[in-house]
Each structure stands twice: as structure tokens, then as C-alpha cells.
Structure 1
Amino acid sequence: MKQNFVVVAETRADQGKGASRRLRREGKIPAIVYGGTEAPVSISLSANEIGKQLKVEAFYSHLLTLNLNGTSQQVVLKDLHRHPVTGLAMHADFQRVQADKALRMHVPLHFKGADVAPGVKTGGGIVEHLLNQVEVECLPKDLPEYIEVDLSALNVNESIHLSQLKLPAGVTLMQLKHGNDQSVVAIHLPRAAVEEETPAAAPVEGAAAAAPAAEAKKEEKK
């Protein structure tokens, strides 16, 4: 069941770095909401409340209800700036959602079945995650919280590509639209095991014969 996220915000008139610093001292962060048929609006959020919501993975790929000055609208989180040291949110961008307009969002991948995959369970392989999210395009009503990747049938030296993912109805992958069918996950043997299976190089026949021949020439010169 999908979660419901409500982001409470208020409009702000002050702009610039100084105003943003004052907001943060008051326990708020600056943000902006844009898109749709309305003009962009500068807003502020409770740093404490948004901080709690940002700890939930679904918040990043979910339709959000933005409660702005008592009125509600549907938005998605499009960008987030964090402090480079503390990791705390510094600024957020929200995009208004229109029911009949497709939107593009990054959606996380959830992997399952690794523990029973033949390549791991009996083949001694290890799982290599090559992607942890994908960019999708769909109508707002079709936006998935995540896309599941089933590894349960994967053998050693096999991989799953984007074109093999099972997508919800109405959802397309932007990478595939651009002809990029890259690998998502693969199972390989550990490097140590690969090195053990590689036989030592056999001596070159000509080189092996060269040593006795050189010694024979030395004897002839004596």
C-alpha cells in the first residue's frame, strides 16, 4: 500500500543567501515549487519535518501533497541540495504534477532472490549491482515507488538488462528510449576463484630448447 506524504510549507518573500541563512537559523529550509500552469513560488519548510521524511526511501519517488498556506497541490521532489559535510537538507525543488501530463522521475531498484540464485547458492558467485535506480516516464497515477528485480534464476556469468525488467503498466524507461539497454545486475565468480581456475602459462617450446643450444655453442668454442 502506498504511503501518503504531506509537506507543510509557507510562502517566503525574502530572497538571496542572507535570507536563506536566516531561515536555516530559524529551523527552516528554503525551497521552490514550479511547473504546471502557475508561476514558480518560493517557499520554506520545517527542517525537522522534512528531515524525517527524507529518511523514507519512498519519499523520493512518490506523489507528495504540498500544503501551502492552507491549500493543497500534488508535487514531486525533483532536486535536493545537502550540506557537503553534515548531509542536512539545504534547499529543495518541487515540481507541480498535472494528471494528464507525463513526468520523469528516478525510481529505486529493489533486488530479490539473490540468496536462492543458482549462481550464488551452488555456483559460489557474488552479486554485482550495476544500477540502483532507473529513470522512468509515466503519468502521475502510474508512478511506481520502486521497480523489483528478481535474481532467483540467475547463474554465474549471467546478468539482467534493462529490457528484462518487469515494468508496471504505463511505465517506460528513459534509458531504453535512448537505446541504452545496459546491465542492471550480474553474478560473477570472486576474483580469487577466477585466478585459481586460470592455468599457469605453459613454457614456450622454442624458448625451452634455446637454453641447451646456447650451452652447446659455448662448449664448441672452448
Structure 2
Amino acid sequence: MIAEFIGQGLFDDTEESIGNHVCSTLNNLTFKQITFFNAFLRSKGLKELKPFIKKAQKNGANFTFFIGIDEKITSKEALEMLLDLGIDSYVYSSKQFIYHPKVYVFEGEIRSRIITGSSNLTKSGLFYNIESSILLDFTNEDKGGNKVLNQLKDYFSPLLEFTSDNLEKVTKEYINYLVEESLISIEKYESDDDSFLKTHDNTKKRFKNPKIGTLGKIEITESARQSKNINLK
């Protein structure tokens, strides 16, 4: 099993971003069942993944998204984009607890991969914020990797088996209901001074966003990748 730590945001270089790892994994035709569990979804983050999602779909990958709507961060535009992509998507909303996972699961006939950490499916979460995640890549004969995958599936079984009362399928009608009840945001209506919502698409105003660069080129191998030399005082 390959285990890697992914950190972003402390340095200007965005090549090692969580978003690039997700795009690179989508670019790998090995993975055919792809499941995302995300607390927050914004259209600008999903837009960066869109060409890689469409390529994976063209090559037979099946997607399922389980998205949260707490704090009104998930947007109408983002949910509509899921519909446009033909992704089987569901909203999880509990009156008792906040739905807050950030888990990306990629399964194939030969190997599987899990990326989990602090990054939501927003542009800033995927590329700009100071975030950290762990990536596990393992063959389907790896006992340790499959143990983690089975534990993950067991935990999320109420969602994966669609038995939870807190689950609603994303449809045009359901999106309209969420808008009417003010349960999600509308990105095109947000004002420039709405910093609470804007921060999920952009970095803070006093900084300039670093360039994202070319996506989808990271390869995960057994050999250790070169890390930054940091002098800790």
C-alpha cells in the first residue's frame, strides 16, 4: 500500500494541491467506481474537475456524490452542474448534526484509492487554502487497504445503501425547493462584500491567487517523491 501526506497552501506552488491529486486520479482509467462525500460544493471548484469527470465517464466510470448543505455554502449552480454532468447525486441533511466529511473514493478492478482530509469541493479548498489530506493507494489484494475501504463503506452504509431518512436525491425540483427555503446559496446573487460566502471560492483579498497550472499529471508510485527542504528554527 502507498500512503502519502498531501499538504497545500503554505507554499505558492499548487502542483501538489489536493485538487491536482483528485484530477490526476480521475485521469487514471483504472478507477471505475468513484464516490465523493463532501460537506460543501461550489461551482468554481467543480468546474476545475469537470473535464476530468467527463473523460472518466466517457471511459466507463460511474460517479456518486453525497453532498451537504449546512451553512448554505453549497450552491444552486454547483448542484445544477452535477445534474448537467449526469452524476447520481444526493444531499445529506440532518437537523441534529452538521454533515462535514471530505472523502474521495476511487475503486477499480485492480486497485483502489482513498483521499481524505480537510478539503471541501470548493476552488479554495481544492487549490488555495491551507489544507491537509492523506492518500492511500492499494491493490485489491492488499489486506490493510481493503480493511480501511471496508470500514469506510460500513460507516457510510446508510448513504451507500440509501436507507438514511436524511438523504434526498438531487433533482431540478429538489434544487428549487432548497432555493425557496433558503437552504443553499446562489452564487450569481452574492454581493462583493459577502465575505463569508466568497471565501469558499477565493483566497483573502489581500493576496493574489497562485496559478493552478496544469492538472492531472501526478503519478502515485512506490518511490518517494521529492519534498521541500524546510529549515525549522
TM-score of the superposition, structure 1-length normalised? 0.20
State the structure with bigger RCO (CA 8 A, min sep 6), 1 or 2.
2
Q: Which has the larger radius of gyration?
A: 1
Relative to total residues, which structure has the larger strand share, 1 or 2? 1
> Structure 2 length normalisation: TM-score?
0.20
Identify the structure with the greater helix proportion.
Answer: 2
